[in-house]
Amino acid sequence: MLLPKRTAIVTGGARGIGRAISLKFAEEGCSVAIADLREKEANKTLEEISQKGVEGIFIQCDHTDSRQVGDMVDKVIKKLGKIDILVNNAGGFGPSTPITDLTEEAWDRSIDLNLKGVFLCCKAVIPYMIKNKYGKIINISSLAALTAGPANPHYSASKGGVLSLTFDLCLEVARYGICVNAIMPGIIQTDMWNNQIPVGVDKNEFFQQRAKSLIPLQRAGTPEDVAGVALFLASSLSDYVTGERIIVGGGLPFHAPAH
């Protein structure tokens, strides 16, 4: 096992990429605290975690609210005893909107969901990691932070901010034995992406066609593809890796060769 007796917080761990990371960690011996708003889906994930022989807990938490984040971290310490790993996965992807039509409210919401929440969780967890002289922080950014997207300035900016925060924290906490890295998913088939597909379009066919036209590996990514990289960054295999960004994009931002 790669994570024996470790304890992790996974924000947004109820479904999608967060669920896959939670289950992957549990398979490797890690206790998992799911911080999410979706109670029904979180409890289903917890059932799968318990089947793997480790402890899992669900704490309902809005990661953009500092009070709720502080309470969540205190509950994890109380119930699981420590925090070795923090995965800042919770976030959101709104409708594509040109900047001339983008409202201030939509901008603020994207920054809150994708950047402020990461800041609040890091701020709350890092003191415990400093005390223990150990920690692994994994921030889920996006390939959108580096590449131009279809009218998503709010999302791209928020995910770019996650990268900058990752680099800054890396320097700030390295002397305490804490590693901070970022994962940048590309096109990963999750509910977030499915919600962007027009009604009436077959989702699997859409992703297959998109993969053939864009992705060198000729397939869309899965949450499990991201979870494997998260496991590497959470384990002792990456103890000398910090301040890095790893793209999980099947070859993107390079494009698939013409046929």
Structural domain boundaries in the chain? 7-186+223-247, 190-220
Residue 197: predicted pLDDT: 64
Which tens digit of pLDDT belongs to each residue from 237-256?
999 999 999 999 999 998 77
Catalytic residue among 128, 134, 155, 176: 155
**Residue 93: pLDDT band with limits 50, 70, 90:** confident
The residues, any chain, with a CB within 8 Å of residue 18's CB and separated by 6 or more, are: 10, 11, 12, 34, 36, 87, 89, 90
- Expressed in angstroms, the distance from the first to the final Cα of the chain is 43
Residue 247's pLDDT is 98
In tens, the pLDDT along 44-90 reads: 999 999 999 999 999 999 999 999 999 999 999 999 999 999 999 99
Q: Is 155 known to be catalytic?
A: yes
76, 98, 100, 125, 202 from 86: Cα distances, Å: 11, 33, 36, 8, 35
DSSP 35-91: EES-HHHHHHHHHHHHTTTS-EEEEE--TT-HHHHHHHHHHHHHHHS---EEEE---
The predicted-structure confidence for 205-219, as pLDDT tens digits, reads as follows: 777 777 778 899 998
- Would you say 195 and 186 are in contact if contact means Cβ atoms under 8 Å apart? no
Count CB atoms within 10 A of the CB of residue 75.
Answer: 15
Determine the Cα–Cα distance for residues 142 and 161; give it in Å rounded to an integer. Answer: 10
CATH homologous superfamily of 7-186+223-247: NAD(P)-binding Rossmann-like Domain (3.40.50.720)
Report whether pLDDT(201) > 80. no
| Average per-residue pLDDT for the chain | 93
Given a cut of 80, is residue 141 above it in pLDDT? yes
Residue with tokens 């911080």: 35
pLDDT at res. 94: 79
Q: Measuring CA to CA, how many Å separate 128 from each of 8, 73, 135, 141, 223?
A: 13, 10, 9, 23, 29
**205 half-sphere exposure, CB direction, 13 A CA radius:** 4
The DSSP code for 115 is I
